[in-house]
Structure 1
Amino acid sequence: MQIVVFNSFFPPAFLGGGPIRTLGAMVTSAPPEFRVSVVTTNTDLGRTTPLDVVADEWVPYANGEVFYSSTSSWLRLFRALSEARSRRPRIVYANSFFDAKFSILPLLLFAVGWLRPDLWVIAPRGEFALSALRLKGWKKRPYILFFKAMGLARRVSWHASSSAEAADVKRVFGNSAPVVIRENDTLLPQYAAAPIPSPADGPLRAVALSRVSPVKGIDTLLAGLSQVGSPLILNIIGPPEDKQYYHRCQAIVASLPTHIEVNFLGALPNDMVREVLRQYDVMLCPTKGENFGHAIAEALSSSCPVLCADVTPWSARLSAGGGMVVSPNTPDGWTAAVSEYARQSTGELLRRKQRAGAIYEEWRSESVQSHAFSLFAEVLRNGDRTKA
């Protein structure tokens, strides 16, 4: 069965974080009965320099192909869309709702009959969480109204990675919106990496694996660190996606007490992430919401415990020993949580790392599901989209 996938970024791009890794894993792990053609750009998030890929032609990838479009002009973008159309897909999968070039424009072409798959699927990737909708809501709300007015809400199905995300979709589009709930794909190993003991008598070594943008809540975490009395080193690994927000975070760092050290290290290639995470005592995740939380899975797979706000599907596993749920997700909440963690002995930190790895392995042993493409093919075979 032919499937076309639209997304702005695809491996080897990595600056966009979890959604890119998730999509790469989904395509790589697709069952052999699916031919998957991905249409994307030949750049990475926030970059204009092209990736080291062959552009503007189909390149083999897993059991399919990728078209890395140099979409510097509308003509080249239309050529990419024409290539997608030439594949005559049964299913089109858009990895975003608000992406202008790779969701909105293809949907408009679908609305007028230029693209004619049997099933159109949208994966909103957390875009309908209340915290996400508040960001630039002046642009998002009119498009949602337009989407409904065009009748598109009655013609698409949705892929949610959790029951919480499914509820977000239904809150925006009504209880009749057809949603398939299927956890995000990952290429992480079955077993966690062995934990590395913490150095004796050193400061707590913490990491935040996150794009520096408002929805990730880094400013909340930094404000909370101002009241932590124990020595701590926090390395923030991720691109500064929002420059104004990044400068605001830097200003907070400049005001922190001298026993709190914060470093912005920039992005890290995906193949280095797990080994780097092993070096830390804990990952801090002050996000305002995640539909899945790929970075959390990576941390646990590295035997690195996670402190995270109660806004992800991981809360129960973190409470069971994978780390700690931080509540409330405020500066005071983070002060209390980090202070408690920083008081642990090296022996206790090692035991917490071991428990985080065990929680990860428990999750991997339980996360056996049919592939997302198989679930949508079943919807197509049943001929009743309302049962999605």
Structure 2
Amino acid sequence: MMTKNKRNVLIITGRYLPGYKDGGPVRSIKNLVDYLGDQYNFKILTCDRDHGDTEAYSNVKVHDWNQVGGAQVYYVPPKGFTFRIIKKLASQVDLVYVCGCFSDYAINTLLLKRIGLIKKPVFVAAMGLFSPMEFRLKYKKKKLFTTLFNLTGIFKNIHWSATSEMEVNEISQQVRTYGNFIIAEDLPRRVEDTPINKRKEEGDLKVVWISRIAPKKNLIGAIQVLKRVRSNIEFTIYGPIHEPNYWEECQAELQLLPPNVSWTYAGNVESEQVVETLREHHLFLFPTLGENYGHVIQEALSAGCYTLLSDQTPWQDLNKYGAGKVFRVDDIQRFVNEIDGYAQLNHEEFSSKTKDVIAYVMNNNKLKVSGTGYHHIFGRGVVQ
């Protein structure tokens, strides 16, 4: 039952809990519910199974509402995002928030809005889909969609939710927009400020990579960096295999690592165990090709991992606060030099660095939550 006087928000997304294989998008919505679920009535329409699974979740009711944390969740099978169900659920809320614009559920929502069958405001969360490197993946399909959408005015009566001015510019390069943007940075995972006691020996380093195993996340780039390091490295890889052919390429490159670098693929990590798992490692290496937020980055920092990133994320100030470094994705030698330098820290020096990392991420979390743009999105209009 929806609470009186709270605005009712329908979020339409491809995957949600208990799924975890889609990584950031699931985490984005969960964090939103965790922080703002006491201020808004969140209702979520989503698929009844995780990415790549052939069976529905065993513990949910399909075609019905389920209480999941602070939200009501309505699960449908694949291809179940019909015009009828979207129209029905949209009529019960004050605002519709749809994640992305290329999936079937997003296209159906946009079409319903265009022909006037959804009367409520519709926001489209860009979800990083328009970053240059991301848009390049399946470029022909995406370009066809955006061209058709522009010609038919699909985007005319919707609003955009973007995570930064950079993302606003990226969207504007691909679609005809009408200035209907609100910037709302992704909210961080709730993390307790608890002491982190890691051991480290001089000359040794535990390096971790965690994300979906797909070209955009650039695991191969991380491997290319580790091929050149001279320190003793334990390299651990976590994450679901989204593209098997790409994983085969990664495995071939892993076999070429030098003797001073040992590696392990440790499989998937349940979402709620990510931070605890990462606490076992010293440094997070993530030369990603593009993130509109990067939940794994926030999670690695929360676990006290010094973080090395490409310049394709919003996390541009790590060096200023001693929490890590940001390099161009193709500047492999600078990644190498930083890893070798960090490996030489003794335990006392390393512990001091870890405190800097934790101080940075806790302050960053507070700033993001206190100034969130989601209130501007969900507060639009008047509750009838």
TM-score, structure 1 as length reference? 0.90
Distance change in 2, residues 1:35/1:197 (3 Å): closer
1:135 counterpart = 2:150: no
**Superposition deviation, residue 125 in structure 1:** 1.0
Helix, strand or coil at the partner of 1:316:
coil
The CA distance in 2 between the partners of 1:97 and 1:75, in whole Å, is 17
1:105 counterpart = 2:108: yes
The CA distance in 2 between the partners of 1:127 and 1:62, in whole Å, is 27
The CA distance in 1 between the partners of 2:127 and 2:65, in whole Å, is 26
Say if 2:155 and 2:176, in contact at 8 Å, map to a contact too.
Answer: no
Pick aligned residue for 1:11 from 14, 17, 24: 17
Q: Please name the residue that 1:234 is paired with.
A: 235
Q: Please name the residue that 2:258 is paired with.
A: 257
Say if 1:308 and 1:325, in contact at 8 Å, map to a contact too.
Answer: yes
**Superposition deviation, residue 46 in structure 1:** 2.0
1:341 counterpart = 2:342: yes
Distance change in 2, residues 1:307/1:42 (3 Å): same
Helix, strand or coil at the partner of 2:36:
coil
Q: Please name the residue that 2:77 is paired with.
A: 70
**Superposition deviation, residue 259 in structure 1:** 1.5
Query: What are the residue-to-residue correspondences of 1:300-379 with 2, within 5 Å?
Result: 300-369=301-370, 372-379=373-380
**Superposition deviation, residue 83 in structure 1:** 4.5
Deviations 1:38-84 (A, max 9, x none): 1001111222232232222111234541111122xx46755643552
Q: Which blocks of at least 5 consecutive residues in structure 2 are unaligned? A: 1-6
Q: Give the helix-richer structure, 1 or 2.
A: 1
The CA distance in 2 between the partners of 1:167 and 1:75, in whole Å, is 33
Helix, strand or coil at the partner of 2:116:
coil
Say if 2:31 and 2:190, in contact at 8 Å, map to a contact too.
Answer: no
1:168 counterpart = 2:145: no
Distance change in 2, residues 1:7/1:318 (3 Å): farther
Deviations 1:340-388 (A, max 9, x none): 222322322222111101111221332233655531244435xxxxxxx
Q: Please name the residue that 1:94 is paired with.
A: 98
**Superposition deviation, residue 91 in structure 1:** 1.1
Say if 2:311 and 2:327, in contact at 8 Å, map to a contact too.
Answer: yes
Deviations 1:174-199 (A, max 9, x none): 574321111112341352x3222324
Deviations 1:250-284 (A, max 9, x none): 10001111211122222100111111111111111
Q: Please name the residue that 2:65 is paired with.
A: 58
Q: Please name the residue that 2:277 is paired with.
A: 276
The CA distance in 2 between the partners of 1:321 and 1:286, in whole Å, is 18
Say if 1:318 and 1:324, in contact at 8 Å, map to a contact too.
Answer: yes
Amino acid at match of 1:366: L
Amino acid at match of 2:317: A
Amino acid at match of 1:56: H
Q: Please name the residue that 2:51 is paired with.
A: 45
Distance change in 2, residues 1:300/1:174 (3 Å): same
The CA distance in 1 between the partners of 2:305 and 2:188, in whole Å, is 18
Distance change in 2, residues 1:259/1:82 (3 Å): same
Q: Which blocks of at least 5 consecutive residues in structure 1 are unaligned? A: 382-388
**Superposition deviation, residue 102 in structure 1:** 1.9
Q: Please name the residue that 1:150 is paired with.
A: 152
Helix, strand or coil at the partner of 1:109:
helix
Q: Please name the residue that 1:81 is paired with.
A: 86
Higher mean C-alpha deviation, range 329-338 or range 286-295: 329-338
State the superposition RMSD in angstroms.
Answer: 2.3
Q: Please name the residue that 1:384 is paired with.
A: none
The CA distance in 2 between the partners of 1:284 and 1:55, in whole Å, is 39
- Percent sequence identity over matched residues? 24
Higher mean C-alpha deviation, range 344-353 or range 134-143: 344-353
Figure out how many residues of one structure are paired with residues of the other and give that number.
Answer: 376
Deviations 1:128-187 (A, max 9, x none): 000001111011001011111111222111111122222212232357432111111234
Structure 1 residue runs of 4 or more that deviate by more than 6 Å after TM superposition: none
Q: Please name the residue that 2:199 is paired with.
A: 198
Deviations 1:220-247 (A, max 9, x none): 1111211111110111111111111111
